[in-house]
Structure 1
Amino acid sequence: MCGSLLVALGLAACGSGSSTGTDSTAAAGSATEAAASKPAGEPIKLMAMEAYTEPASGLEDPHFDAGQARVEAVNAAGGIDGRPLELIKCDTKSDPNLAAACARQAVEEEVVAVVGPAVFNATSAYPILEKAGISQVGGSAADQVEGSSPISFPFTSTVTQIAGVPRALVLDGAKKMGAIIPKFPGSEQVVQGLEQLVPHLGIELGEVEQLPFDTVDFAPAVAKALSGGADSVLVFFPGPNQATAIKAVKERDPSAKVGTLNVYVTPEVIEALGPDAEGLVAAAAGLPASASSPGMDEFNAEMDKYAPETPRVDGAVFLWAAVYAVEGILKQVQTIDAKAVTAALGKQAKLETGGIIPPLDTTVPGPVPGFPRVFNPTTVPVRIEAGEAQMMEPKNPFFDPFGGPPPSAGGAKGGA
């Protein structure tokens, strides 16, 4: 549907043009090959800056150990030019003052990049990082700061994942979907965007209900969302009430299909849903841990060795992939510092993440009006089976809901 425009979600249909730039394919390579001499010298520092202990975000703290697992593997293989990697953990707690403090710490510690799926309070942290030339890699752009800053190299965006949910519902056999979303500044634009996008994905859009974040009784909204013959509901309600909203749909109509964002299908949500979690469909930001691909196999091997107890959710995969991507850049630059890393990141025709998402072309703006740094418009439709996200289209897992050309990253094998 190239030519259609999802104005409200900030995403356009047409893909970007051709360009030239550096190819980081295989730049990182396998960090788990033969053991090398122990790295020495001054460590090369990265920072994982996230709201680790903020429950309102709907995300838990499964991420850091995944990034640390990659760092351990890199160091076991000899580090970067004989120097060890170091990953610093900084908890913003969704507090803008703490986010700024983390950014200042990144400057003081001379980190070469901030890595991971979420900064939170980017408006506080980014001005400090921008002044120091420190990039943020692997984020999920949630606002125009993360979507437009020259230091931002996100792997996905919240609106991209919302736009991917209808595809998962269509694959599940849905014909008409309602939606339940939180009411926030810009939520009306999300509704307008869904109205433009959904008809092009083979599904009809019914009633869209916007509710306050502190809603606990979802029954009236569910009744409206399932009215008019709707057989499915998009539920995007980040936070502790995500499971409550999904259960309300199932209580109203046990046969109704539910779609959401996989990043919010945490182990805690799956446990709270119980049997209702089985068959839930979602849009994942990248390959789920159940997939079998060279990069994901490497991720799982390193997690088995260094972080076997850490849940292998989207956030964990993305932090690992962010370290992987920066590792590849560090092997390209002549001078290892933040500004050199940021400059090199901006010249990548194929920035590799181990195949977790399609290679990123950072040399041209992404297809998102107002969000030019969102280089990847794809999502991966998944279904929850026995508590794990499984790909719904394993032969071609990456789906672009905005009608761009098919990604060239290739397929992946489904999990067992």
Structure 2
Amino acid sequence: MAESCVSMTGRRRTSTRSTFLPRSFRFSRSVRATALSAGALAACASLAVACGVVPGTAGGSGDGPIVVMTWAPEGTSATNKPGMPAFARAYARWLNANGGLGGRDLKVLTCNDRDDTVAAAQCARRAVKEGAVAVVGSYSQHSDAFFPHLEGAGIPYIGGFGVTNAEFTSPLSYPVNGGRSSLLAGLGKELAPQCGRVSLVRPDTIAGDSLPVMLDAGLTAGGHDASSDQPAPEDATEYTDQAEDALRTATKGEGRSRKGRGCVVTALGDRTGTFMDSFRRSRDDYPGVRTATILGSVDQTVINAAGAASGPFEGAYVTGWYPVASDPAWAPMKKVISEKAFSDTRIDPADTGVQTTWIAYNVLRQAVESLDGGPVTADTVRHALDGGLRIDTGGLTPPLRWRFTDRLASIGFPRLVNADVTLQTVRKGRLVAAERGFVDVTGTLEKADVD
């Protein structure tokens, strides 16, 4: 499979297949070991003589453009996030038209990770080769494939989507949200007093293996039994069997000392809409079953396609990382889109990938500005973020600041510094805020049974 990487100039290059074979691990095998491994890699990145490489020295010194990369899967049969690299290019156009970063242009390279380990590794190697000072606002499920390359070169990973455990363990990772773990923990805590049996339908992938643990942490915090885990193919074209199993499990024992009607929680990413097509056809035999999900698996377009106010999402709770898309705090992002990407249909201001990319690039901007005209390299950007720099996201998240370890290091997530979630609901077919402000689920996550 050939890599496809495109710079702001539109140049396309290809490279041959890599022989890099990433290791595989499951969440239940102790994420603490992953954290130790990431720490060792970071130590290697800091020892130029011992490792035979001088990290963080290219890509931003002098008067040339500051080079960064954004990657995400596009055109795959599973999850696709084309809006993230598209928005990154629009942001660079907008920033450069408004003076750039300290008077220097921002050059954004983009790469299609194809939801594939080989392509993800190729993207990372391209970032190293091109002298990127950071990988910003990106999505990939294949952290075992790309992190070793970034860590070996000392390149920070700013604002990944939060889809893998390594994003919360690697010392070179600077996540801006709490990943799907925080979303499911928050959702479980909200559903605990309202649902009978809970079925979780999630991807049958390594990244998906951690999701039941986090949902159960929230349910347990609310005094509820654990959920029923329903793994499903990530790239299926229909989910009739999985929908039937989830509905059957959610209604088992109804009416016998249950707290309420059964609930089906979906966390299938881009395939949630496909699942709901099958769910709608099956649910007539199971009246009253409620649904709940997380942002990243649903947005307003998915709700509309499922029938809006008459569909299965009506009344559903949805947890997100950020305020609803109608919140005034998104106005600066929408200004960038209207001025530099108004005709690009890939860029949806309500898409959590686009929102994450916006926040990540604001982290980069503040890190570079803190250097006060000094050299901009992977090393200096990393040291700025590690030095206690406080990032203000304009109310889209709590203030962000990364330390080597934080409270959630106890469960193997030393880089998870933002465990705040927002609670939303579908009312009259529209996704709206159910409560104002953020809910901090740090305490819930600390009690998660990750061993």
Q: Which TM bucket (shorter chain)?
A: 0.7 to 0.9
Equivalents in 1 of 2:319, 2:28: separation in Å?
19
176-185 vs 96-105, which moves further: 176-185
Contact 1:207 1:224 in 2 (8 A): no
Is 2:110 the partner of 1:89?
yes
Q: Displacement, 1:282?
A: 1.2
- In structure 2, what is the equivalent of residue 358 of structure 1? 398
Is 2:249 the partner of 1:216?
no
Is 2:313 the partner of 1:288?
no
Q: Displacement, 1:56?
A: 1.0
- In structure 2, what is the equivalent of residue 342 of structure 1? 382
| Cα separation, partners in 2 of 1:124 and 1:139, compared to 1, 3 Å | same
- In structure 1, what is the equivalent of residue 293 of structure 2? 260
Amino acid at match of 1:342: R
Is 2:265 the partner of 1:243?
no
What are the residue-to-residue correspondences of 1:88-237 with 2, within 5 Å?
A: 88-155=109-176, 156-169=178-191, 174-182=194-202, 183-184=204-205, 190-201=211-222, 204-205=224-225, 208-213=228-233, 214=236, 215-217=239-241, 218-229=243-254, 230-237=261-268
Write the deviation string for residues 268-309 of structure 1: whole angstroms up to 9, x where unpaired: 53343123144432111222322122xx22112222222234
Amino acid at match of 1:311: D
Contact 1:351 1:361 in 2 (8 A): yes
SS in 2 for 1:47: strand
209-218 vs 245-254, which moves further: 245-254
Equivalents in 1 of 2:431, 2:225: separation in Å?
25
CA RMSD between the two structures:
3.1
Is 2:73 the partner of 1:51?
yes
Greater per-residue helix proportion: 2
Which residue, out of 40, 57, 77, partners 2:98?
A: 77
Q: How many residues align?
A: 365
Q: Displacement, 1:264?
A: 1.3
Give the structure-2-normalised TM-score: 0.72
Amino acid at match of 1:305: E
SS in 2 for 1:402: helix
| Cα separation, partners in 2 of 1:391 and 1:8, compared to 1, 3 Å | farther
Structure 1 or 2, whichever has the larger Rg, is: 2
Equivalents in 2 of 1:164, 1:196: separation in Å?
9
Identical pairs, percent? 23
Q: Displacement, 1:193?
A: 4.8
Q: Displacement, 1:60?
A: 4.0
- In structure 2, what is the equivalent of residue 318 of structure 1? 356
Gaps of 5+ in 2: 1-26, 32-61, 255-260, 447-451
Equivalents in 1 of 2:428, 2:338: separation in Å?
20
- In structure 2, what is the equivalent of residue 20 of structure 1? none
